[in-house]
Amino acid sequence: SFLLFRVKVKNLMSVVMIGKALKLTGYHSESKAKEYKHVCKRACQRAVDQLKAGALAVEAVAAALVELEDSPFTNAGMGSNLNLSGEIECDASIMDGKSLHFGAVGAISGIKNPVLVANRLLSEAQKGKLSAGRIPPCFLVGRGAHDWAVSHGIPPCPSEKMATKFSLSAYKRNKRKMELAEKMDTGQNQTKKRRQSSENENGSGCLDTVGAVVVDLEGNVAAAVSSGGLAMKHPGRVGQAAHYGCGCWAENACNMNPYSTAVSTSGCGEHLIRTMLARECSAAMQSEDAHQALLEAMQNKFISSPFLTSEDRVLGGVIVLRCCRCVEAQPSQNIQGILVEFLWSHTTESMCVGYMSAQDSKAKTHISRLPPGTVPGQSLAIEGGVCRLMGVVE
């Protein structure tokens, strides 16, 4: 299905799109859906406020992610999933379409907003080489990432303060189920059934990475993503949210590419890493028909990817912005506009998205779901819209 929304905007050229809260099994409950929509709206508003104040896309997308990380209802920053050792380790990355610089952190603990560390890595790299001609890092992990963040003025946050009642109770529940499973017969078929049942019952299959994509007043694009990773993951595991070309991608238009594109992904990190889905979707968006291009990319480069032939279900989703400039002659003035297409697609059962332009009084939100009767991981949903952002050329 493809939904088309048309919005006319004058003088302010900016659009924010947020995606979060993919679930592997079961529809979102109405109570949780309401909370997901609220946090998406707040994130959109925060980014738009930044854009109206003159911020660039990369600054606005970081602001949106901070709002998402601060929510106890998202698996990012505060309230993230706990790993096997009962600790929180987060992944995040950000990419600036104007400079093409990228910053990321993986398996970082004790930092409330991992995206701020990723963004600081990006901005520090733009300053050039370090002393003695050393290349500045763009991706740091673990203790090294934490220490670098603190040395650059980002305050630490005790891990126990980042855990919420919900994440702690989920950890205890998952740990009991794992201990029980280990005591039972470990036959292959029974183990597989128990694993699937466990995911269905305790929500360990919840793949709620958060992400955002933005186009600013100048037509620059940026993308970011943040995640606490899978529940009960092995310590040190790094998901797609930190990997280059896998969690997010942003690239302004150039001579070779007529469209500016920004992509953020969510889902099973291992599936997204092995397919580099963010970059694949960005490349596909250079085709004339954005909807058809994204549909084919999700089907051919993800669900039917030769790199995932051993997987029964391929789980993930994307939010995408595609922009191009256009100039129209008017009787009294030249009007410069940006045509913005925003799309989302997912193979998981549901996905919450929010979007907002600088002219909107509030963000719009939507829970996208697979069509009835389809199988998660084997089918996909795709929706989106378009808006024309106008401004006067002096």
Residues 6 or more apart in contact with residue 141 via CB below 8 angstroms:
105, 106, 107, 108, 238, 242
Q: Which of 74, 209, 261, 275 is catalytic?
A: 209
Residue 44 CA to residue 261 CA, distance in Å, equals 18
Q: Which SS3 state, helix, strand or coil, does residue 48 take? A: helix
Which pair of structure tokens corresponds to residue 217?
């007043």
> How is the beta sheet containing 334-346 ordered, strand by strand?
6-10, 381-393, 334-346, 316-329, 260-267, 248-251
Distances (CA, A) of 315 to 76, 156, 359: 19, 33, 34
Q: Determine whether 209 is an active site residue.
A: yes
Which pair of structure tokens corresponds to residue 173?
């529940």
Backbone torsion region of residue 54, taken as left when φ is above 0, otherwise alpha when ψ lies between -120 and 50, otherwise beta: left
110 within 8 A of 146, measured Cβ to Cβ: yes
- C-alpha gyration radius of the chain: 21
Catalytic positions: 209
